[in-house]
A = this chain, B = another copy of it.
């Protein structure tokens, strides 16, 4: 029973302004007249609001179109260079910092390689901060033009606590305060979330999930996770760790999983589990091409994998009744590209008719590199929801 907040007349403006901004952001250039229909607001309100947004330079004019026999309509659009966003992908082997304009066009990027022994959190924070300076310089953008920094990290990001604490076993991070470290080095607003979640967010906003209100985005790499979207909102759970699909049990006394338990879905369909089951030596370094060979050769292991994946997806459909399921992650895309039809068949056999018919199962569009973009999306979301109070910030 989420308590609604107290509202005042100003919140009305904030909400309507956000709605208008979203319509224009996703609905392409539109005239003021069209916006009245799309938003439900009166022409008067649209007029004053677009006036404000134009003087703030958040919107810009985008040509005009004839309207047979009358005054031509002036098209409005979001000004892509009004401000910029920074997205960061902290992964096992690298830290990547990317600079985007408001339309998510990449303006600059820098990569830092992490040696396995160097997952020291302070080093990572220094890399990120240095990367911010580099992309700003490369993109010829000042910090004052940046709305914020989104960071996708591995592991669980505890929110709500005084500071976002990160727990990532494989990194040796146990309650690491990345947010605090960032704030010590920059005055830009910082948003942190799990990398799989930010990737899901990217697919939802800019990939195959566009427009879906109820969706599940599953990410299959060496690990397996999911982003659940209900009523247009990502389901985070009570401590922001919802979506651990990989460790749901699909077989009561199944294969041991690296999490210590048995029968986890990840032990079957995760890249590592899959390669292991196919008899590929663990030392193999180039997992993607090894996986490609396994999938191309086919055989019972591959068939089994399809069955496990399809059954796992069927469980999601029964439980959550999404309108769309996206399969993403590098391994997920490789499996999906070759076996999507078979997967659909298995899903159909293992889910109830009514929810199955309501779902479409598709592949992700953005590829495995969307973590940083999704992280930047966290900043964008904040901007679209609350562009009024959120101000551009001073340089660090």
Residue A148 at the chain B interface, CB threshold 8 Å = no
Known pairs A1-B22, A242-B320 / 16 extra A-B pairs, C-beta < 8 Å: A1-B204, A1-B205, A7-B16, A228-B320, A230-B235, A231-B235, A237-B358, A238-B322, A238-B359, A241-B321, A244-B355, A247-B352, A249-B311, A249-B315, A250-B250, A252-B254
Which residue from chain B places its CB closest to the CB of A312 in the assembled complex? B249
Q: CA–CA, A232 to B18, complex, Å? A: 23
Residue A167 at the chain B interface, CB threshold 8 Å = yes
A residues 206-251 near B (Cβ < 8 Å) are 211-214, 226, 228, 230-233, 235-245, 247-251
A-B pairs, 5 with minimum CB distance: A237-B321, A2-B232, A6-B40, A238-B323, A242-B321
Q: CA–CA, A1 to B40, complex, Å? A: 17
A residues 1-22 near B (Cβ < 8 Å) are 1-9, 11-12, 15-16, 18-19, 22
Residue A390 at the chain B interface, CB threshold 8 Å = no
Determine which residue in A40, A245, A247 has the highest number of CB atoms from chain B within 10 A of its CB, and name it.
Answer: A247
Which residue from chain B places its CB closest to the CB of A39 in the assembled complex? B6
Q: CA–CA, A323 to B9, complex, Å? A: 34
Q: Which residues of B contact A47 (CB under 8 A)?
A: none
- CB A58 to nearest CB in B, in angstroms, measures 18
B307-A354 in contact (CB<8A): no
A239-B321 in contact (CB<8A): yes
Q: CA–CA, A327 to B314, complex, Å? A: 23
Contact of A355 among B11, B239, B249, B349 (CB under 8 A): B239
Tell me whether A354 and B245 are in contact in the complex, defined as CB-CB below 8 angstroms, given that A252-B251, A321-B238 are known contacts.
no
Determine which residue in A5, A7, A12, A359 has the highest number of CB atoms from chain B within 10 A of its CB, and name it.
Answer: A7
A314-B249 in contact (CB<8A): yes
Q: Which residues of B contact A358 (CB under 8 A)?
A: 237-239, 241
Residue A395 at the chain B interface, CB threshold 8 Å = no
B2-A231 in contact (CB<8A): yes
Footprint of B on A, CB under 8 Å? 1-9, 11-12, 15-16, 18-19, 22, 26, 39-41, 156, 158, 167, 204-205, 211-214, 226, 228, 230-233, 235-245, 247-252, 254, 259, 261, 307-308, 311, 314-315, 318-323, 349-352, 354-355, 358-359
B318-A244 in contact (CB<8A): yes
Q: Which residues of B contact A323 (CB under 8 A)?
A: 238
Q: Which residues of B contact A212 (CB under 8 A)?
A: 1
Q: Please, could you name 21 A-B residue pairs with CB atoms under 8 Å apart, sorted by A? A: A1-B22, A1-B232, A4-B15, A5-B19, A6-B16, A6-B19, A6-B40, A7-B12, A228-B320, A230-B237, A235-B235, A238-B359, A242-B320, A244-B319, A247-B318, A248-B315, A249-B315, A250-B250, A251-B252, A252-B307, A261-B350
B6-A9 in contact (CB<8A): no
B311-A242 in contact (CB<8A): no
Which residue from chain B places its CB closest to the CB of A210 in the assembled complex? B1
Contact of A156 among B15, B205, B354 (CB under 8 A): B354
- CB A395 to nearest CB in B, in angstroms, measures 33
Q: CA–CA, A320 to B167, complex, Å? A: 18
B232-A230 in contact (CB<8A): no
Which residue from chain B places its CB closest to the CB of A242 in the assembled complex? B321
Q: Which residues of B contact A236 (CB under 8 A)?
A: 321
B7-A15 in contact (CB<8A): yes
Q: CA–CA, A320 to B41, complex, Å? A: 37
Q: CA–CA, A11 to B236, complex, Å? A: 28
Q: Which residues of B contact A226 (CB under 8 A)?
A: 319
Q: Which residues of B contact A26 (CB under 8 A)?
A: 1
B240-A321 in contact (CB<8A): yes
